[in-house]
Amino acid sequence: MTAILRVILRPDSCQRVVFPSGLPSTVTDLETEIKNQCKIKQSFRLQFMDTLFGNDFMNLTSVEEVQDKATVKVIYTSCRPLDGDHCADVDSPTTHNDDSLCSSDDSTIILSSSQSTSSSSSWPDFFNVPRFSYDAELKLEQAHTAFREKGTLLIPDPKLKSDILEGFIQAIVQHKDYVTDREFDQVAEALIKRHPCLQERGSSTGYGGWKTSLKYKLFNYRTHLRKVGCPEVCVNALKHKPDGKRSPAFDVKKPKRGEVAYYSSFPLGECEESLEKMRVELISDIKQRNNRETIRAKMEKRFALRRQEVICCAPMISDFQERWPALFDVMEASKKKKTVKL
């Protein structure tokens, strides 16, 4: 009997996989069939959508956990695909350094992971609720019991609410520092689906208050990030805005959908002056023959300077080409086309 699965390959890509003889009997066989049909070359594991936990994704350990027309998610254990054979190295989920590009063709390496503190990944299709502190999880477990037995809703004490909000903010900034209203809805809705005892009385959605609290919490956390020097937040500080237009809402610079390495910090030990000096040297290097590897390495190291110049100054193409001629070289341009990177 034919079976069909919806396979999520990455946040902006999913594929239908058909099994003419029904679902395989083991997880290994299932992974092999998905790998062949989706043409995946990297190692991965699978997660399934668990309806018992608000459609959160759980690690797949048995084929019995999925049925026909179910949804599974590919979790890459080494690389996640970007375009064709190109991929981005996946670091620990608690870091912000998922910006290095890798490829079977060494000419496509653009950005080293040590050069950026930008948000690590694009916004997920399904926001996973993080685990909170031990005492917070204990309180929520007791509240779940009361909710199942008596339908009692929990009014969290200030400490519990603070722990929940802090846990969510740390999970949010793994993806982005500036969140849209729709994305706040997605996060708050995920909270009450995972913890139905936290639904709010009198709210049409059940999470209106949580959504507002998350907005304020993230706003305050961005203030903290600006003080510690986070580049993506510092670029929107009032002192960087023109006189007469210094308001928080004016010309906010933030990543577009799916954009990573948006506003990278300088490599360790480098500053604007040293990178500018190297940029001038690069203009001479591009005039030399058989100098491709040197140019590639220097262009990679100067990615942060180039990116900050584009965002802050918004130069004309002609001016930018004059300052960065290597970027418009045939080999460099074809490399950027492959990796969809500037």
pLDDT digits (tens, 9 = 90+) for 207-233: 999 999 999 999 899 888 888 877 777
Q: What is the pLDDT of residue 320?
A: 77
Higher-scoring residue by pLDDT: 335, 141: 141
Higher-scoring residue by pLDDT: 275, 118: 275
* Residue 104 · residue 240 · CB < 8 Å: no
DSSP codes of every residue in 73-138: EEEESSEEEEETTEEEE---TT-S-TT-EE-SSGGG----GGG--S--SPPPSSPPPPP--HHHHH
* 56-78 residue pLDDT tens: 888 888 888 888 888 999 998 75
Q: What is the pLDDT of residue 273?
A: 74
Neighbours of 129 (CB within 10 A): 19
> Which amino acid appears at position 305 of this protein?
L
Domains and CATH numbers, the chain: 3-77 (3.10.20.90), 134-228 (no CATH)
Percent of the chain with pLDDT over 90: 23
Q: What is the pLDDT of residue 78?
A: 55
Q: How confident is the model at residue 50 (pLDDT cuts 50, 70, 90)?
A: confident
* 193-206 residue pLDDT tens: 999 999 998 889 99
